[in-house]
Amino acid sequence: MKKLLLFSLLCCGLLAFRFLGSNEKPVPIPPSKQRSGNARKGFDYLVYGDYVRSGIPINLFRIGFTKFDSSLLPRTGINANIPYDFNALPMATGGVIVAPNCLQCHAMPFDGQLVIGLGNAGVDFTKSRGINAGSVAMMERMLKKSFPEDYEAAKTFLTVTKTIAPDLVADVRGVNLADHLAALLVAHRDPQTFKWSDSALMVKNHAVVPTDTPPWWLLKKKNAMFYNGFGRGDFGRFLMASNLLTTGDTSESRIVDEHMP
């Protein structure tokens, strides 16, 4: 009897969907003009570039990151022994900072090789493995007191991270919070200057809607970047969204934008 009732409800639902949705036809998304560029230069900027312009001093980074396989993405110079999902960047004072890059979400080891563009299904934003705002604040105090030059290079990254960390938590491992991260960054940045505000400039939606990171190679078949049709127009501007994590203002973002073709 229960099975018959369940089957009847399913049939009713399908019929309702058939009749109610019969007048709704898919609307194609028109293509947008895109920039042209040099793929080799673009890749080099991806794995060496400074689109995220603040990070952790390399000496502290080495303490926290000890187990990784740098052979997954062979690089040279100061990036030779750095995890593939971070870029090492020279500081004006002569030191080195390490900043997250796009491969945090858009690459994953598979069968012993790094597949760049594959969504990272192993990412973990759960509370036990996510960003700890208290630890970030402690690092900030230590650097400010003992290593002022390193602190200046890390200041923006630490300030932003400790502000957004409490809201950047997922219930389960393997889902991506990039959409929520973007909303948090936008809430704290002036829309005209991109300058950071410690207090939110707009109401933040604390509902976390996780997504699955699609592979990059699907983008060549799409006229919008995201599942819901959002992300039309200049794809380069969307690809540099990670710059909002640490940019000082629009003048810095313009420099990054020049590398996007």
What is residue 169's predicted lDDT score, i.e. its pLDDT?
Answer: 87
Q: Is residue 56 part of a domain?
A: yes
Q: Is residue 20 part of a domain?
A: no
What is residue 81's predicted lDDT score, i.e. its pLDDT?
Answer: 94
Q: Is residue 10 part of a domain?
A: no
What is residue 9's predicted lDDT score, i.e. its pLDDT?
Answer: 53
Q: Is residue 2 part of a domain?
A: no
Task: Give the Å distances, CA to CA, from 219 to 81, 168, 225, 243.
Answer: 31, 26, 6, 20
Q: Is residue 69 part of a domain?
A: yes
Q: Is residue 46 part of a domain?
A: yes
What are the tens digits of pLDDT across the range 185-207? 999 999 999 999 999 999 887 77
What is residue 74's predicted lDDT score, i.e. its pLDDT?
Answer: 96
| Region of residue 167 (phi > 0: left; psi between -120 and 50: alpha; otherwise: beta) | alpha
Q: Is residue 157 part of a domain?
A: yes
Indicate the number of domains in the chain: 1
Q: Is residue 155 part of a domain?
A: yes
What is residue 228's predicted lDDT score, i.e. its pLDDT?
Answer: 84
Q: Which domain holds residue 47?
A: 37-257
pTM of the model: 0.85
* CA–CA gap between residue 89 and residue 183 (Å, rounded): 27
* CA–CA gap between residue 79 and residue 47 (Å, rounded): 9
